Structure 1
Amino acid sequence: MRRTKIRNQDLKKIGYYEVPLLKLAGKIANKLIGQKQSSKEALLPLLQDLLDHPDNYTEPPFDALAQKVKEHQPANDLKRQDEAQYELKPEPLPYPVFGKEKIEAGAIKQMDTAMQLPISLAGALMPDAHQGYGLPIGGVLATQHDRVIPYAVGVDIACRMCLSVFELEADYLSKKRNHLKNLLLKNTCFGTGKGFEKPMHDDLFDKPVWRETKVIRDLKRKAIQQIGSSGTGNHFVEWGTIDILEDNSELGLPKGQYLALLSHSGSRGFGANIAGHYTNIAMEKTKLPKHARHLAWLDLNTQEGQEYWIGMNLAGEYASANHHQIHKRMAQSLETQPLKMIENHHNFAWRDQLADGTEVIVHRKGATPAHENEWGIIPGSMTAPGYLVQGKGKAEAVFSASHGAGRQLSRNQAKKTLDEDDVQRVLKQNGVTLIGGDLDEAPMAYKNIDEVMQMQQALVTVAGKFTPAIVRMADKEKWMGRGKGRRNEKTGDISFNET
């Protein structure tokens, strides 16, 4: 982790203009960096969030800064607004909203703003949508073919699903439940800043692309340390059974029930640092009105744009390698190989075409690619089923579907309103063993996945149903602060978890 100090210039780039704010923000941030509790790359997104949501930061070390932001907000916002160089369209372009009755107003408002960007050409909102930063989670945005928006991809670049289907009888799970639980404990690693003591080698690190940019070179060591591991939040690895509903020659699996392993994680600290670095550059280069500033874009014809594109795609390969290592460890422990492995990103940007042939960059932030016959995985919650799906190629939806059930309670709401005993009761009712996890990932924090699937019948065909049985997530961590950027008291790490 680099210990580069945060300068006034860095703070001005993300919207701190008033001198009292500059001084205090710099003092707090550089103290954390000096104490090796965080890095410049991790703190800048957190400080951006604090500027927009000061009420979320009520505890040390950020409470004093939050109070000062509120005191100086009018004057600071005027200076931020003066910086805007691009105007938004008067009205958003029309776009479809799937399952609108289940989507919060904040997510729709964010999508409206995205569709007012001068570079936006098409978009859609998936039925699991909820409010995020810039583009809402569940938002799909097609922009001009040479414009990419880092925050429309997301902080966890290439957050990804991976499913392995094994040629073992489904009752193997009930017979070997403790064995499978122990395999999860042995072969997975979760948590902020965590990684295996002896990471497996991966051929990915032999590729010359790791020398392409200084940012990538500086992050290679972190990437090697965290290969094959998973983060916090909604990341998981779980055993369950999958029911293949019909014989499918493309899938190559006969109808029936199989033992399966399902994982959800992304590009770890490597991707998060790529996202933070180039989001800051985009916001410096592309000045937008305050409420749209997280939608700042990079021009792919510039050095910065090309660097982000290279970094984003490498983060995609890295996220895939993380999953492959998890599944390889499990297969080796089972002394077998999967019959089939299926995977897909849901935080990424792709070169694509609209139905009329227009070349675009399609950003899917918490959305699954669903071109015709394209395979994807849409999970539920730790007790709800997930679905193996095939896309129908719906042009109106920009060839996309949901990436999961979607939250109905924010992380803070879940922790304030849900009860540990109720969670344990729901787990028991559904026959699920949970290792780790916290109240913000409780089943009740999520929408009903079957209702979500009903709302997108026009987008995907369901080919299989996965039922979770043994779930591993990050252990409960004690955090300081109530914002989405939080400091772990035990490790000192600061994380910024959007979803």
Structure 2
Amino acid sequence: MNIQDLLRLGVPQGDAIQLANSHMRRLFAQGLDRAQVEADIFGIVADPPAYFADDVRAPLARAIYRPPFTPRAELAPWRQWGEGLEAEAVKQMANACALPVAVAGALMPDAHVGYGLPIGGVLATDNAVIPYAVGVDIACRMKLTVYDRKGNTIAGQRDRLANILESETRFGMGCVFKQRREHDVMDEDWTVSPVTQRLRDKAWSQLGTSGSGNHFVEFGAFTADAAQAEAFGIEPGEHVALLSHSGSRGTGAQVCDVYSKRAMARHEHLPKELKHLAWLSLDDADGQEYWAAMNLMGRYAAANHALIHKHIAKKLGADAILDIENHHNFAWKERHVVNGEEREVIVHRKGATPAGAGVLGIIPGSMASPGYVVRGKGSPESLLSASHGAGRVMSRTKALQSFTWSAVKKQLAAAGVELLSAGLDEVPGVYKDIAQVMAAQTDLVDVLGRFDPKLVKMCPAGERAED
């Protein structure tokens, strides 16, 4: 017997086929003949729940089981921040809260439509992870470094700063550095999943790069008032700062692709509108593999930012006096009160910033509007979350039809921003007013500082978006 025989017996692809193969070999080693082995495996395929209490066959039975979809009798409790959000995004949030594994949700004021869970959606689940609720770009994140240079020095160094951004960043789908960057993350165990093991070399080639879509690296001026500057341990006033936004590149996208397909195969009875909300149990091999791969991608994405900031600081000849960073496409094991009882849940933040009490984060605006360093207030209703940015108001296609570079360049000049490269689908007009977004979440975060972009580098036009 071989893999094709197991597929013929009805064993699905994924970890089930590997478990079935191991079980088959074990039975043959015990002296069973082919007919007996086929009968044993076919019995498990025909009625997986009948074997859940069988210590030997339970792992295979659980991997094979395809439960019928039964939505919650009532939606899991959730709340929306902000007014006038896209109706489809609100509907997506409600759909997510109908999942049998959902326990609570929240929708941030920058929300817009995404795959499965909307961008700006927060969803807590019971012992289950949803690959598309983490997002395609696993561990997309922010990093801000404030340097020991006064902000008023930017104007006289624009050419030098632009050259540094051009030489020390790489944008585009296949972008790499000729000489690979080095980081300890590449010494970690990349065999935690077949995907990361297979793509380790590709990930290394892209280490320290930014990709495409809404990813950016930009110089700007960071400002904090006297009291907050003292708390940060820096002098008050404006400082030169570097802000970056990107994630886990092509490897993270492949992790999402492989495990979202496995999740959908496990939940083939989900209605069409819930297809991208298919989940993996953390008790199963696929769920455990995805969780390990997701966390590795989190460390890899952090390494990308660390290298960008390290090499730019070296080229700039400046010292960092403040570093702040956070994921905003990720899932965490956290303890929350559910139905009056505190317990562990899996909190997915897909385009949402962690905002637990005292937790620092970064909420950017557009290339022509400020971003903010914030401190979370620890709102239980928001599942300790806040927005991750301004949020789009139109699709990329619509943006290309709506704007011209001549008008955009005038807007950027008025804002004192020099754009090194970007596509029309990332210009300021495609985003909401960041001031309104921040005003809608004053109960979620306190603003501690402000970052104003001055020189912006993004992926040139024509590349497929990775965000």
What TM-score do the two structures reach when normalised by structure 1? 0.78
Instruction: Measure the CA separation in 2 of the matches of 1:178 and 1:419.
Output: 25
1:315-464 matches, within 5 Å, as: 315-355=297-337, 356-464=341-449
Return the offset for 1:252: 2.6
1:284 and 1:163 map into 2 onto residues whose CA distance is: 40
1:153 is aligned, of 130, 134, 137, to 134
Q: Give the letter for the 2:412 counterpart.
A: L
**Residues 152 and 238 in structure 2, CA contact (< 8 A), matched pair in contact too:** no
Q: Secondary structure at the match of 1:133?
A: coil
Could you tell me which runs of 5 or more consecutive residues in structure 1 were left unpaired when the two chains were aligned: 1-11, 14-82, 478-487, 489-494
Aligned to 2:223: 243
The superposition leaves residues 78-124 of structure 1 with CA deviations (integer Å, 9 ceiling, x where unpaired) of: xxxxx98212225423311100x231100000000000001111110
Over residues 144-196 of structure 1, what are the superposed CA-to-partner deviations in whole Å (9 max), with x where a residue is unaligned? Answer: 0x200000000000000000000111111011111001100010000011111
The alignment partner of 1:387 has SS state of strand
For 1:158, what is the secondary structure of its paired residue?
Answer: coil
The letter for the 2-side match of 1:318 is Y
Match of 2:263 among 253, 261, 282: 282
Aligned partner of 2:277 in structure 1 is 295
Given the alignment of the two structures, is residue 106 of structure 1 paired with residue 91 of structure 2, yes or no?
no
Structure 2 residue identity aligned to 1:370: A
Q: How many residues align?
A: 401
TM, length-normalised to structure 2: 0.83
Q: 1:163 to 1:284 in 2, by over 3 A?
A: same
- Contact kept, 8 Å, 1:247 with 1:254, in 2: the verdict is no
Instruction: Give SS of 2:290's match.
Output: helix
Q: SS state of the match for residue 166, structure 1?
A: strand
Q: How does 1:36-115 map to 2 (within 5 A)?
A: 85-99=68-82, 101-115=83-97
Residue in 2 that maps onto 1:225: 205
Distance 2:264 2:315 in 1: 47
- State which drifts further: 329-338 or 459-468: 329-338
Structure 1 counterpart of 2:112, one-letter code: H
CA contact 2:334–2:345 (8 Å) conserved in 1? yes
Structure 1: distance between partners of 2:110 and 2:67: 32
After TM superposition, list the pairs within 5 Å mapping 1:90-239 onto structure 2: 90-99=73-82, 101-144=83-126, 146-207=127-188, 209-239=189-219
2:318 and 2:369 map into 1 onto residues whose CA distance is 27
Query: Structure 2 stretches of 5 or more lacking a match?
Result: 1-11, 14-65
C-alpha distance in 2 between matches for 1:282 and 1:418: 39
Q: Distance in 2 between matches of 1:184 and 1:448?
A: 27
Letter matched to residue 402 of structure 1:
S
Rounded to whole Å, the distance in 2 between the matches of 1:97 and 1:430 is 32
CA deviation map 1:432-464 (0-9, x unaligned): 110111111010010000010000000000000
Equivalent residues of 2:214, 2:465 under 8 A apart: no
Task: Answer yes or no: is the 8 Å Cα contact 2:77–2:103 preserved in 1.
Answer: no
Report percent identity of matched pairs. 48
Partners of 1:423 and 1:94 in 2: how far apart?
42
State the distance in 2 between where 1:102 and 1:473 align: 29
2:236 counterpart of 1:255: yes
The answer for the alignment partner of 1:40 in structure 2 is: none
Could you tell me how far apart the structure 1 residues matched to 2:256 and 2:365 are?
26
RMSD: 1.8
Distance across 1 between alignment mates of 2:236 and 2:94: 43
The answer to whether the 8 Å contact 2:399/2:424 transfers is yes
Aligned-pair CA distance for 1:425 = 1.3
Instruction: Tell me how far 1:250 sits from its aligned partner.
Output: 5.0
Q: 2:113 aligns to what SS in structure 1?
A: strand
Moved more, 215-224 or 419-428: 419-428
Match of 2:25 in 1: none
Taking a change above 3 Å as real, the CA distance of residues 246 and 129 of structure 1, as seen in their structure-2 partners, is farther
Matched with 2:57 is none
Deviations for 1:289-310, whole angstroms, at most 9, x for unmatched residues? 1110100000111111111001
1:90 & 1:416 partners in 2: Cα distance?
Answer: 43
Q: Work out the CA distance in 2 between the residues paired with 1:97 and 1:310.
A: 31
What SS does structure 1 have at the residue aligned with 2:455?
strand
The amino acid of 1:225's aligned partner reads S
Q: 1:166 is matched by which residue type in structure 2?
A: Y
Q: Which residue identity is paired with 2:183?
A: D
SS of residue paired to 2:118: strand
| Structure with the greater alpha carbon radius of gyration | 2
CA apart distance, 1:215: 1.6
Give the AA of the match of 1:220.
R
Distance 1:312 1:238 in 2: 27
Q: Provide runs of 4+ in structure 1 moved above 4 Å.
A: none
Paired letter, 2:106: A
Structure 2 residue identity aligned to 1:421: S
Larger deviation, residues 464-473 vs 168-177? 168-177
Partner letter of residue 190 of structure 2? Answer: W
Cα deviations by residue, 1:206-237 (Å, 9 ceiling, x for unpaired):
12x21233221101011000000011110000
- Separation of aligned partners in 2, 1:245 and 1:147: 43
